[in-house]
Structure 1
């Protein structure tokens, strides 16, 4: 890589780290750049996952006070997304990269719709008496969908944060800042496990991994400071907009 390409990758790592902890579409920024500098798609995907793992970890550390508010849900998110990502990583290495190309954009658009309408729908359900008490524990449906998001996170991951916001938003009655913290933790859990697999069996561009990691660890923490200060309505709008952008780019 040239010096300019190295600086671009470093900046992409920082930007993707910020996106990890805020709107959850980090790969939308970093993955095209890795392909643009000449990495094959599967190598770029695995390299991107390993390089952005520090972003989820530093972002989760930045959200530690929010995560302490819901420790049981945090553990559910860690376990389900970690287990799911094992399947996703295996799919990435075993299947043709184009398998999910036609499905992923529509899946992201659907989850964007869910994120957008979730407050109104939740209020309507409460008025109908469907939920008498605030839901603060992950039920079977939320747990299962968290595993599914983990699978997608291990396979590709672009938009997985948006999906997790939708899953947690419908399954639990929590402040959006806490949901965003749990989303960042989910991304971290999926990336850690997938990265361990990729380190053993995947082809990686190690220089790119190092540059992404360096930028993303700073960006992840910075993003957590930004995310916890954004008004809920603005944050929700940004998440939906970012998800729509991801769906358009991937379609």
Structure 2
């Protein structure tokens, strides 16, 4: 890894930590950067999951005030995230590497669509205030489990999915749900990451660079990320995501 690549990975981690705390989809920035640095797709994915865990924790700490009073909700949905993350990580390990390389462009494309639709989803959620349930019921548990599988396998925009599901099914403010989202995505990344440590090849130098950058980014996202122009962030994510698709397809 060159010095320039190392700086690029650390900066990508910072951006991802910021955007993950605000809404999600930071993997759409870090994963392509790891590919550009020469890491194989599966190694890049595994290292990315581990490297972004500290950033998710950092963002969750920044949102700690919004977590007050949500212990029961976190335990219930966190269980679904743990189970889903385990299944997703196992799928990544047992399926051929060629299968991952073939599937990921489609997953990135779906994630990009979710990122583009996020403002529309947020508006729809706002109109449902007072029409939802307190805990989300079985539907949210199952949805969180399925999102955990996706997150354990790849993870791009899992935060967008979790926030959309919770916003539709729980009668709660979006800021408090965003705090829950940060915990759930951190849980999925941590669980899958622990499995990867023992069963997959990890590029620890990339993990360390992503971790440092994402920790700083998590604090930025929690403190001033809400003031960043959402359209600019989304545009960067879409451009980088499209570049990743082209890079994978043209290899």
Task: Give TM class, smaller chain.
Answer: 0.7 to 0.9
Counterpart in the other structure of 1:161: 159
- Separation in 2 of the partners of 1:9 and 1:139? 39
The question of whether the paired residues in 2 share the 8 Å contact of 1:72 and 1:137 is answered with no
Contact 1:111 1:162 in 2 (8 A): yes
Structure 2 residue aligned with 1:144, among 142, 145, 158? 142
1:122-159 CA-partner distances (Å, limit 9, x unpaired): 74696xxxx4xx52213100110011111111111111
Are 1:105 and 2:117 matched, yes or no?
no
Cα distance, 1:220–1:124 mapped onto 2, change above 3 Å: closer
Residue 179 of structure 1 corresponds to: 177
After TM superposition, the structure 1 = structure 2 runs for residues 69-218 of structure 1, keeping only pairs within 5 Å, are 69-95=69-95, 96-97=99-100, 98-99=102-103, 101-102=105-106, 105-106=109-110, 109=113, 113=117, 116-117=120-121, 119-120=123-124, 123=127, 131=131, 135-218=133-216
Q: What is the TM-score of this pair, normalised by structure 1?
A: 0.84
SS of alignment partner, residue 134 of structure 2: coil
8 Å CA contact 1:43, 1:203 repeated in 2 = yes
CA distance in 2, matches of 1:146, 1:40: 29
Report the TM-score when normalising by structure 2: 0.84
State the shift of 1:174 in Å.
Answer: 1.3
Q: How many residues align?
A: 241
Give the 3 Å change call, closer, same or farther, for CA 243–183 of structure 1 in structure 2: farther
Tell me by how many angstroms 1:21 deviates. 0.3
Separation in 2, partners of 1:207, 1:172: 40
C-alpha separation between the residues in 2 aligned to 1:153 and 1:60?
17
3-state SS of paired residue (1:154) = helix
Contiguous gaps of at least 5 residues in structure 1: none
Structure 2 gap segments, 5+ residues each: 246-251
Task: Determine helix, strand or coil for the equivalent of 1:197.
Answer: helix
Partner Cα distance (2:125, 2:60) in 1: 28
The question of whether the paired residues in 2 share the 8 Å contact of 1:149 and 1:163 is answered with yes
**Residues 240/222 of structure 1: CA separation in 2 closer, same or farther (3 Å cut):** closer
Comparing 176-185 and 69-78, the one that deviates more: 69-78
Structure 2 partner of 1:62: 62
